[in-house]
Amino acid sequence: MSGALAGLLSTIDRLADFTTTEQLAATAAILLVLVGAFWVARRVRPKLRQRFPSQVGDVVLLASLGGLLLVSAISLIVLWERGTTAAQALDGINNVAGKGFSIFLALAVLAGAYIATGFVKRAIDRLVDGHDTISEHQSEIVYRVSQLTVYVSAVAIILGLWNIDLSGLLVGAGFLGIVVGMAARQTLGALLAGFVLMFSRPFEIGDWVEIDGEEGIVTDISIVNTRIQTFAGEYVMIPNDIVSGEKIINKSRKGRLRIEVEIGVDYEADVEQASELAKTTMKDLDEVLTVPTPKVVLKEFGDSAVTLVLRCWIDKPSARRQWRARTAIIESVKAAFDREGVKIPYPQRELTGRQESGGFRLASDADLPEATADGPRAEAGQTDGGVADERSDASEVSEQ
């Protein structure tokens, strides 16, 4: 290896003897080689990804391009700086870049971390393929967390190789974490809620849910928020902290859904006959499942009718299936009731009046006692109590 490197450096040293014209031609040739190398790498990358793990192929390409860039830089320095050898140019690059060996090790560690994430991704994919209980969203979250862990470990190793004291960095990171946590507590709450939703799995992508008054189909679940497409074509983004704190209704999780339709029957109609007629009508509908069987229950005595509740189940619930089943039930039951003479009454009100009881009568002056300075004067044969009773009676008459 050292012999090959020495031979390469001696070959580059010959560029110092070139004339000005040859220098321009050599520079153009070096630039063309670099452009061609990047173009070839772009074309070869898909084939390398097919033969080898994607991360391994990327590392090989990056290492090859990095070596080519280093050789080109040394060649240009020797070519245009008279009296400089390839070894001196390499030492100058090392001095400018710092410790060359440490940089090489750091790059090697980063390359190893990149390759390791590829193997982690493949392992997670194999695990997901063998277990139906693990969703694609959960596998993606596990991969991102594993990827972050690998890269943080790689950075810690590189800092250790460069003899950097991590204590001050950790203290600063702690204070920074406190400040960021106080400033973005709502976002952090949404992140924590996203992890809780990932493991609790109250819904999946494609489920028909109702959250915080919004009803629709779940289109995306991220760590921060959940996206829902409503049946009006609107996209609603709900933060995960709100999702975890609200009541979640998942209408498609079980694979079937019960729907209810209320209908009123006249008080003079045979309620039992109407119930059996509605139940038979629902069993004949294609939109309704036969198992569980449709049922009819009596709900209440309404203002104008006896309220019946028609209950049935639909398969593979969706908003379209639900409204299609409701429409079919209402049309079919209405037609059956009309055919059998079962009346669905209009809202009714019964008006009644009170019997007359003498009506309203005003008191005349003769009915009132004569007023004096000490109060009303009692007539003959009347006591004070009698006067008071008469006044009371007069007052009651006036109020009537």
Q: What does each C-alpha distance from 69 to 37, 65, 66, 352 come to in angstroms?
A: 10, 6, 5, 103
Residue range 310-324, pLDDT digits in tens:
999 999 888 889 999
For 15, 180, 201, 236, the CA distances from 188, given in Å and listed in that order, are 59, 9, 20, 21
Q: Pick the range with the lowest mean pLDDT from 156-160, 178-182, 224-228.
A: 178-182
Question: How far does CA 137 lie from the centroid of its chain?
Answer: 11
3-class SS of residue 66: helix
pLDDT at residue 387 greater than cutoff 60: no
Rounded mean pLDDT of the chain? 75
Task: Name the 3-class secondary structure at 25.
Answer: helix
Q: What is the pLDDT of residues 237-291, one digit of tens each?
A: 988 888 888 888 999 888 899 999 999 999 988 999 999 999 999 999 998 998 8
Global pTM?
0.49
- What's the confidence (pLDDT) of residue 370? 63
The span from the CA of 250 to the CA of 209, in Å, is 4
Q: Does residue 63 contact residue 70 with C-beta atoms inside 8 Å?
A: no
Contacts for 296 with CB less than 8 Å, ≥ 6 apart: 275, 276, 278, 279, 308, 309, 310, 311
Mean pLDDT of 348-357: 68
Q: Are 225 and 190 in contact (CB under 8 A)?
A: yes
For 68-124, the pLDDT digits (tens) are 777 777 777 776 665 566 666 666 656 555 555 566 667 677 777 777 777 777 777
pLDDT band at 398 (very low <50, low <70, confident <90, very high): very low
Walk me through the domains of the chain, giving residue ranges and CATH numbers.
7-161 (no CATH), 165-252 (2.30.30.60), 256-340 (3.30.70.100)
pLDDT for position 114: 74
Residue 334 banded pLDDT, cuts 50, 70, 90: very high
pLDDT band at 391 (very low <50, low <70, confident <90, very high): very low
Average pLDDT over residues 5-17: 65
